[in-house]
Amino acid sequence: MDTITGRTDMSRRIILGSAAALVVLGGAGAFALAYAGDQPPALNNSTARYTAPAGDGEGSFTFTTDVKAASGVKSLKVLAWPAEGPFAKKPLTEKELAAAESATCKPAGGDTARCTYKVTVTAAEAAESGTGRWYVATLATAKNGDTAFADKTTAFNVG
């Protein structure tokens, strides 16, 4: 306390307290960034759209998603499968999905990539695959090797 004015030097304590808080918060921020870097890739805004072939024309299947990975997105494997198909009894594995086709991924800002997988569907393919509920399985791989596997990322109906 200052004996002349009768007050404590609060500004000095606030500055010292603030500096200590910045060190603590800065350390927590560095931990949060390190922790975020250890997170597997994450998919958001996933959509699947199936258009049946009509007349002599072809149909299509399109899957789009945003993949976020702190180290960057290396690849996204995609497989559409019928709910009543073979993976209903024996679940699809990450190893099996690794051999699937890749989506095309483009930077979408920050550590996110917009990935799209599109294939044409002929009338013969549509007739062979039947109707009903289908799922989209995905395997996202980050540049640092981290992966995220989901056998049911999203669903759609055929027919």
What's the rounded Cα separation, in Å, for the pair 144 and 141? 8
Which positions ≥6 away from 108 have C-beta within 8 Å? 66, 114
**What pLDDT score does 63 carry?**
98
Average pLDDT over residues 105-123: 96
**What pLDDT score does 23 carry?**
37
Residues 125-153 have pLDDT tens digits of 999 988 999 999 999 999 999 999 999 99
**What pLDDT score does 130 carry?**
83
**What pLDDT score does 21 carry?**
36
Q: Which residue has 């200052």 as its token pair? A: 2
**What pLDDT score does 27 carry?**
42
Which positions ≥6 away from 92 have C-beta within 8 Å? 79, 81, 137, 151
What's the rounded Cα separation, in Å, for the pair 32 and 23? 14
Residue 33: pLDDT band by 50, 70, 90 thresholds?
A: very low
Mean pLDDT of the chain: 83
Residues 38-71 have pLDDT tens digits of 789 999 999 999 999 998 899 999 999 999 999 9
What's the rounded Cα separation, in Å, for the pair 93 and 78? 13
Residue 37: pLDDT band by 50, 70, 90 thresholds?
A: low
